[in-house]
Amino acid sequence: MSANQLIILETLAKKLCPATKTLTLDANGKPNAINYGRAIKFHGKIYQPTNINELSHLLEFYADIPYALAVRGQFRDHVDLTKPIWRRKDERKYPKAPHTVCLMETALNWLMLDIDKLSLPALGFNAPLSQLDPKTVCDAIIAKYLPELQGITYHFQLSSTAGWFNHHTVSVHLWLWLDKPMTNPECKAFAKMVNARENQQILDPSLYNAAQPHYIANPILGNGVETDPLPVRSGLVKKESDVFSMPAVELTSAKKTPSQKSSIRSSNRPKMDYIRPHKLDDWLKLIRQTDGGIHDILLDITNWRANTGGLWCDWKSFRKKLETAFRESVRAQTDIVRIDTLFNSGEYERAVDGAKTLAKQNFWQNYSSHLVLSHDDTDIIRLNERYLHSFKMSDSVKTLVIDSDLGTGKTEWFYNNVIKDAPLGQNVLCQNPRRSLAKATALRFGIVDYEDAKQARTLMDYRMMSLCINSSLKLVNPKTPADVLFLDESDLIILHLLGGAVPDKIREELIYHNIEITRNAKHVICAQSLVSDLTLSFLKLAGRDDVIKVINTHQPWKSLPIDFFRKKDKALERLLEVADQGTPFLCPCNSSGQALRIFLDLNKRHPEKNYLLLTNDTASEPEQSAFLSDSNKHAHKYDGVIFSPVLESGNSIVSPHFQETIGFCSAAERVGTPESFIQMMLRGRKAKRMSLWVDPQKHDLPTTDERCAREAIARFDVAAKMIVQDGKELIAFEKTPVVDLAMKAKAIENKSKNNTDRVVYALLTERMGCHVNLVDSDLSDLGIEANKQGKQLQKEHYQAQVEKSVKLSPAEYETIKKNRSPSAKETWDMCRYRLEHELCVDLDGDNEAIFELWNQGRVVQSLRGFEEGLLNLDEAKVVAKHLLENKAQYAESQGFMTRWLIRRGIMESLKLSVDDDGNVSCSPEFKFKYSDLMSTWWYRFARQNLDAVNGSQVGCRIRGKRPSESEIGRWIRAMGIVLTRHNVDGTGYANKPLKEKKVDPVPNRHRQSVYSVNLDNMQPLTSTFKRRLAVGATVWASLMTKVMHKDQNVCADAIKALLPELKTPAGKQTVVVLFERLGDRFDWLEINEAYYRLAA
């Protein structure tokens, strides 16, 4: 639940039960008022304002809706907003009808103050209220009674009977935005504090209840009342600050009955003050030390586990460890009953479910970073409606962006608000990304089809016309502004303009032509599911900054069951099974070639059946054109329809004829995005079962604007040339607004294509709320391990694969390497051989510890980083000179030397050394702070050479102007070095609870921890290094092996040239072992003499 939410309740009876008073005059002209209606049932809506401006916009909108009110609470989990609800919150009052209790208490960011019947003369005003400026009156109330609100922006609304019965009193509601969420008891305490201070009732404290109505509608003008007695009833008053910090007020809680008291509740225990650890062992240690409340720590650790370990981690083993730690805690020694309640009453399960929900939201926010759900330059109206209807188009709205899910009536809303009752002579232009969609829109709205307009061969000013975006260059005069421009599927239109479907010779002219059309239109409406910032960028190019967004958060496809196939042959088996049974189906494919292959296979298998193929090449055929224009009318003619992205939008098949939908999504680079494939899957709205296969193939396409420049400028006439800077090839070109838009479009497209299966799964589950069933797959195949799967599960899976493989001999290993297509088992055999024989990792001895390094890649990187730090200057020069493939890779050689300088310096600063036998040692008394490392020579070198360090792959890039402590820590960890943190000056260990509050606590950002090198935890790395040194497999041996294998006829002089530079005992040992291993290739008599002369 968001603390920003605003719940609006609309009375079911509407006119019979208004949520405001009705002003009337009797026969003698005396003012009367009819009270609020006694509504029982309501329609509920949820909005998500994020600041006082959005809150004011919503209140102004609902001020003219007499049957709407607000409540300061939240809906319970069982509430279905598509059905009528009750305004009830206390379950004890309705024991026989608990389903009617729909509201509950919560903390929110907004606050309403109800000020009733204050005397105007006491405020210094002698004129009646109707002659005063309401803003001045409100400022006077704040100055006299509410000094806490001085300088705070507020929204005011005079009550419905203000100035009606008594002209010299004022009743007003003040709406504020809080700096943090506050509960109703806290707000009530503030109101009582103000009343006690002023010795009279200024604020109504009864307002603060989850079910108490907050009346927001203006009064109804009844019999005899022609005009509103108050010309201005509401508005936003801007001040210096937009948020209100409510002063702390002591809460006065009511006494509980004996039946409500409990001596074992965690709320009766003191709340723990601790810093959240970053490792499970530290969490468990913290739990064992706790003797206070345990509910908060349970919530914290489950949230941490869901966000770091993955949604689908091994929760069973996690519970066992957690329960063991709680039962060993200090709290359990005095209150074991509370521990039993924690794990036996469902409290743990509720905490896990809540943590999973939050983790899903976090994952979706990470993926949807390019979505415009929180753009700062736009006004936002949030709705929760199955079909869009409450928002009305007005003349004041110049640019509107509608972000609503598939099947929520975006096009129907446009027809009802613009086309249906359009005044005579209004010019409406509907633009679409495809010809078929434009024709279907024209037939649906009863307006001019652009194909008919094309035959006139002149610029024509039709009142209402639907056209494909390509034809706007010929049919639309941008100098004649349209009254309303409707961009249906706006993102697809922009991608169409920038893509390969538009001829190169007219692309740039067509884009600027449409920008001019958009700029000159009086009103622009963009409709799209999953709107990206591409639409906002296009509108910004057209000079339309007055954007209002309507975001419909309703999920019409929530809980829709979908079978997600990971193997294509299984999905094809499902398709053939459906075809053999004669069940009508839809088969969306995100490429025309794939659709054609499936169509031909089905026709060959069932020549007697009638299948329809819809692609760009066949869309203009009579049969296909008729289906696209009215798919529901012609649906019964076909046993199956196989279609490409030609049917990705604008054509909903609501006919129940098609009972199955089976989709195939390829990860090829030149096909549509995962978002468009989801739209294709949901074309058949009445399908009883949906299945899909998504290609698990991964890409490494560029996702930044700069890296997308090469492809973007190729589509436009832009002056560009290739330059070489710092050894890298770069493109220098003239930036234009259109090229910037093209780079952004390509970056968004590539971001989704890099992990097609992962994106499709996230869209279905997180964005649309569907229930996805993984068929013939385990979670590790889904490509979402980093975010969705627990690390423990992945480690066990990897470990099991290695354990199944057998140890190979060198001959068997070489045989498998020659096989171009090794099986999965052979691949793991090779992996194990390399770990054991080339990297000298003892899998049997360090079976568990080695997998903490995560995978083979991390093992290689850690060993390389550690061994590079042990090289001296002469050895580093040899490696930089001979380890690379050729002299052309000068930049790589310089990168190695930069990396070596940093790592050599770290080794010296951490006092790490290696003896002749390969034993790694460090003084146990040595401790350091990160601030100590910032005064070293290598830190100064890194600070002065930021670009070189960033290009050397030292562990991570430097984000700022100098390396930070966290970046230095990542450099150290990249070398496989493990550190231990210690207490400093008694300020408390970061992962231990603080038993007592300190008098002057030191802020975390100023606290410096002391560290030492933990050689015990480095045992797998150091023992592996020692074995590699003994058998000649270290970086020295890699150097010699590469030089020898580079040329089978390498002369002994080249080998002897390296010997004087390998002066260390490790280097000598390496040469001896290497000579023994490769002794049959060279004249070792001469080499041995040179070596022994060197040794002497």
CB neighbours of 804 closer than 8 A, spacing ≥ 6? Answer: 825, 828
Q: Which two three-digit tokens encode residue 405? A: 């899910």
Q: Which two three-digit tokens encode residue 780? A: 């590790």
pTM: 0.42
Q: How far apart are CA 482 and CA 463, in angstroms?
A: 9
Residue whose C-alpha is closest to residue 134's, from 228, 242, 236, 204: 236
Pairing of β 979-982 and β 428-432: unpaired
Q: Return the pLDDT at 253.
A: 45
For residue 114, report the phi and psi dihedrals to the nearest 5 degrees. -100, 110
379-552 and 561-698+755-780 have identical folds: yes
Q: Return the pLDDT at 251.
A: 64
Q: Return the pLDDT at 387.
A: 86
Q: How far apart are CA 130 and CA 576, in angstroms?
A: 76
DSSP annotation string for 831-875: HHHIIIIIS---TTTTTTGGGGG-SHHHHHHHHHHHHHHT--HHH
Q: Which residue has the tokens 């710092």?
A: 726
Q: How far apart are CA 298 and CA 165, in angstroms?
A: 56
Q: How far apart are CA 906 and CA 690, in angstroms?
A: 57
Q: Return the pLDDT at 110.
A: 94
Q: Write the single-letter amino acid at 720.
A: A
Contact 615, 596 (CB under 8 A): yes
CB neighbours of 506 closer than 8 A, spacing ≥ 6? Answer: 473
Q: Return the pLDDT at 528.
A: 86
Q: Return the pLDDT at 728.
A: 62
Q: Residue 198 in 3-state DSSP?
A: helix
Q: Which residues of the chain have pLDDT under 70?
A: 1, 15-16, 250-274, 309-313, 360-378, 454-462, 500, 648-650, 668-671, 698, 700, 705-707, 710-735, 776-858, 874, 878, 881-892, 983-1008, 1030-1096
How many CA atoms lie within 13 Å of 102's alpha carbon, on the beta-carbon side?
Answer: 21
Give 733: exposed, middle or buried? Use CB within 10 Å, 0-12, 13-18, 19+: middle
Which CATH number fits the domain 379-552, given the four candidates 1.20.1250.20, 3.40.50.300, 2.60.40.1220, 3.40.190.10? Answer: 3.40.50.300
Give 429: exposed, middle or buried? Use CB within 10 Å, 0-12, 13-18, 19+: buried
DSSP annotation string for 1021-1055: HHHHHHHHHHHT-SHHHHHHHHHHHH-TT--HHHH
Q: Residue 22 in 3-state DSSP?
A: strand
Contact 538, 521 (CB under 8 A): no
3-state SS record for 11-44 = ECCHHHCCCCCEEEECCCCCEEEECCCCCCEEEE
Q: Return the pLDDT at 213.
A: 93
For residue 452, what are the β-bridge partners? none
How many CA atoms lie within 13 Å of 950's alpha carbon, on the beta-carbon side?
Answer: 13
DSSP annotation string for 712-762: HHTTS---EEEEEETTEEEEEE---HHHHHHHHHHHHHHHHHTTHHHHHHH
| Buried b or exposed e, range 996-1022, using 16+ CB within 10 angstroms | eeeeeeeeeeeeebebbbebeebebbb
Q: Return the pLDDT at 382.
A: 84
Top CATH class of 561-698+755-780 equals: alpha beta
Q: Return the pLDDT at 258.
A: 39
Q: What is the pLDDT of residues 859-911, one digit of tens each?
A: 777 878 888 888 777 677 767 765 554 444 556 677 788 888 898 899 999 98
Q: How far is CA 386 from CA 107, 411, 554, 791, 826, in A?
A: 27, 14, 6, 39, 53
User: What are the sequence ranges of the domains in the chain?
Assistant: 6-237, 280-369, 379-552, 561-698+755-780, 705-747, 782-857, 869-989+1006-1014, 1027-1094
Q: How far apart are CA 759 and CA 769, in angstroms?
A: 14
Q: Which residue has the tokens 């919530």?
A: 299
